[in-house]
Amino acid sequence: MKVIGINGSARKGWNTETLVKKALEGAADAGAEVELIELYAEPRKGCLECFACKRKGIDTGGLCAIKDNLRPILEKAYNADVVIIGSPNFFGYPSAMARAFIERFLYPLTSYMIEDGKQKRILGKRIIPAGIIFTMNSDENYYKMGGYGTTLGATRSNLEYILGYAEQYNSYNTLQFKDYSVMNADLFNPVAKRIQHEKQFPKDEVACYEMGKHLVAKAVEMNRE
C-alpha cells in the first residue's frame, strides 16, 4: 500500500505541510508506505491543452503526456493507492502548483468516451481514495459566507468523481505569520491567532492523522473484489 502526500504550499514546516505530514503519519500507522512531495521545490506547469491524452490512436496510459518535472510526481500519484493533497486557500482556490498537479493528474483520467451507456472510467474499477486538506485565514463562518465551500468543494467533488472517493478537511483561521508585529496586518488579532493556533491546530492535526488512517482503510475496502 503506497500513499503519497503532496504539499501544495510553498512553505515548509507551516500549516499545510504539517497537516499533510500528519495525514501521512496516520497512513503509515495503518501500514502504508508513505512519501511526501514538495510541489514548490521547482516551478510546475499546468495543463497545456495539447490533448495528447484525448487523441485517437494514442494511449497515454492515464497519464499526462508532457514529460517535464511534474511527470514523475504524476506517475507516483497514478501508481499510489491513496493520494493526499494539501493546499492553502488562495482566493478561494487551491494554490497555483496544487492546481497544476490536479489539472494534470485528473484530466488524463477524464474520458470523453462512452462505455456501457455511461462516461468511460479510465481507471476501470480501480478507486484511488483522495484526501484534500485546505488551510486558510478565514474562519468557518466566512468559509460559508464567502462561497469557499463552492469553489474549494468543487475540487473535492472533481477528485471524487474521477478517482472514485475523496474526503476534504479544512483548517480554519491558521497562524499565517510568526510575528504579526512586523507585518502590515491590522486586520488580524495576533493574540487570537496564537490562541487559535494553540487550541485548534492540534485538533486539526489529529483530524488529518485520522483522515490518513481512514483513507488507507477505504483503499482496501473499495478495491476489495
Ligand X SMILES: Cc1cc2nc3c(=O)[nH]c(=O)nc-3n(C[C@H](O)[C@H](O)[C@H](O)COP(=O)(O)O)c2cc1C
Nearer to ligand X, 131 or 164 (CB): 131
Tell whether residue 11 is a contact of ligand X (CB under 6 A).
yes
Least distance to ligand X, CB of residue 90, Å:
4
Least distance to ligand X, CB of residue 168, Å:
15
Least distance to ligand X, CB of residue 129, Å:
23
Nearer to ligand X, 127 or 136 (CB): 136
Q: Report the residue from 163, 176, 193, 219 that binds ligand X according to the rule CB under 6 A.
A: 176
Tell whether residue 200 is a contact of ligand X (CB under 6 A).
no
Least distance to ligand X, CB of residue 151, Å:
10
Tell whether residue 92 is a contact of ligand X (CB under 6 A).
yes
Nearer to ligand X, 103 or 204 (CB): 204
Number of residues that bind ligand X (CB under 6 A): 16
Tell whether residue 136 is a contact of ligand X (CB under 6 A).
yes
Tell whether residue 170 is a contact of ligand X (CB under 6 A).
no
With contacts defined by CB under 6 A, name the span among 20-28, 73-81, 129-137, 152-160 that binds ligand X: 129-137
Q: How far is CA 84 from CA 21, 79, 144, 168, 210, in A?
A: 10, 13, 23, 10, 12
Tell whether residue 16 is a contact of ligand X (CB under 6 A).
yes
Secondary structure, 3-state, the chain: CEEEEEECCCCCCCHHHHHHHHHHHHHHHCCCEEEEEEHHHCCCCCCCCCCHHHCCCCCCCCCCCCCCCCHHHHHHHHHCCEEEEEEECECCECCHHHHHHHHHHHHHHEEEEEECCEEEECCCCCCCCEEEEEECCCCHHHHHHCCHHHHHHHHHHHHHHHHCCEEEEEECCCCCCCCHHHCCCCCCCHHHHHHHHHHCHHHHHHHHHHHHHHHHHHHHHHCCC
Nearer to ligand X, 137 or 223 (CB): 137
Rg (CA), the chain: 18
Residues that bind ligand X (CB under 6 A): 9, 11, 14-16, 88-92, 135-138, 174, 176
